[in-house]
Amino acid sequence: MFRKLEFSSLIIWSVFFVILPLPLILSLLTEIHTLGSQQQLSIYSGTIAYTWMLLAVFLGTRPHWLDRLVGLPNIYQLHGILATAALLLAWLHKFSSHAGGLIKQTGDLALIILTIILIYSFLLLSNWLTAHSIIFKALRHSFEKVFKHEFTLWTHRLNLLAIALIFIHVQLIGFVTRITPFMILFDSYSLVTLLIYLKFKLNWYRSDQAELTVFQNKQISARICELTLDGRQLAKLQLLPGDFIFLAFPKIKELHEPHPFSIVALPVDTGKLKLAIRADGDFTTALAKVKAGTQVKVTGGYGRYQHFIDEQPSQANLVIITGGIGVTPSFSVIKHNLSHQIYFFYTTHHVSELLYLDQLKQWNQLNNFHGYWQKGRFSDNFVVEHLPVDWKKATLFLLSGPTPLINHWQAFLLKQQVKPTCIFKENFSW
């Protein structure tokens, strides 16, 4: 099954990077072969860059089928790589072209917008960058005090303005517009992307979306609130253990844009949807003030936790190593996979932040659940000593929590000859 997943990922990357731009390139081959090499380079690089920009917009709509296939973090990673590669090709296009007038002005303005957005996104939307650099982490915290979550998302949407300018830029190039096959493809790609984006933004009647209300919002620790949602449309949501969803509160200005949160308890278990959310930023801090009865729009579920487990032998051991608020998806995963032998290692910075200890203690009464939790990290030796004898062969490892925790245990497990295909992590690094 993992070979199938890796093959699927390879096919998707190939389609996005090579196959989709190819028809546009082929439609140009016989028409521009008489031009100079520099002018051909300009046209080809600009064409590929525009196609990749459209693909980045498509990935930004979070296709549900694609998430279940490769996972949303991988989609976001590809989104970032496509956008970065497209910008580099756009600069190559600029340096190898000699356009003037309105053609040059529309192209230059689009390029400036895209460059600013990419730099801004690296600082405020790239967890990978801040996780690997203290300087960028400090810069991000400074920027977040000024630029709130809502503003950041709206700034990101300036990509659409840049793409519109590029569309106009191409329509102004006379000899290109006379290449009919190319223009049919160019306009079709643009129109399809626009329709997909509009459907994503305007259609709240898809099977993975629901309008719910806040049933209860209570503090369960100093910085963590438990949000319980209810409503007749709960059944519309396609939720699996370990999933996360996107929440948006249309009547609250600072919470209007969607934000992802992992599910603690599924509706099938409690009749309601339950989440535990830590106040880390402006959005999550404002959530603590949301009152019962408030309308909330929910999209989901997203995630590959349960798919990962289902793709493996049913007798495989499950080892969950988690920390902080990253523990939240573990509760639904444990509850729905108690047919496995489960080994659970959970740490926080403060004892008061250990969540749902009563539930964990209850599970610890079962013969197939072995839970350990404490303030501060577990040593490598402690974890190894409490694993099953065959842990290197018949065991799946689920890692969640802070990036350093995930990176440490992934490196440790690989060093112990655990197969990469037996390790699952779902952290957002883009």
pLDDT at 428 over 60: no
Give the model's pLDDT for residue 334. Answer: 97
Kindly list the distances between the CA atom of residue 242 and the CA atoms of 36, 114, 175, 208, 349, in Å, as whole numbers in the listed order.
55, 35, 53, 16, 23
Question: Tens of pLDDT along 47-105?
Answer: 999 999 999 999 988 888 888 888 888 888 888 889 999 999 999 999 998 888 999 99
Question: Tens of pLDDT along 192-209?
Answer: 999 999 988 876 556 678
Give the model's pLDDT for residue 133. Answer: 63
Question: Tens of pLDDT along 390-412?
Answer: 898 889 999 999 888 999 999 99
pLDDT at 35 over 90: no
Q: Which residue has the higher pLDDT, 107 or 99?
A: 107
pLDDT at 340 over 50: yes
pLDDT at 273 over 70: yes
- CB half-sphere exposure, 289, CA atoms < 13 A: 8
Question: Tens of pLDDT along 165-180?
Answer: 999 999 999 989 999 9
Q: What is the mean pLDDT of residues 294-311?
A: 92
Alpha-carbon Rg for the chain in angstroms: 24
Quickly list H helices, 203-352: 267-270, 282-287, 305-310, 328-335
Domains and CATH numbers, the chain: 2-202 (1.20.120), 209-303 (2.40.30.10), 306-425 (3.40.50.80)
**The token pair that represents 18 in the structure block:** 């090579």
Q: What is the mean pLDDT of the chain?
A: 88
Looking at the chain, the whole-number percentage of residues with pLDDT higher than 90 is: 59
DSSP class per residue in 131-142: HS-HHHHHHHHH
Question: Tens of pLDDT along 354-390?
Answer: 999 999 999 999 999 999 999 999 999 999 999 988 8
Q: Which residue has the higher pLDDT, 133 or 291?
A: 291
In this structure, of 125-139, 304-318, 331-345, 391-405, the range with the lowest mean pLDDT score is: 125-139
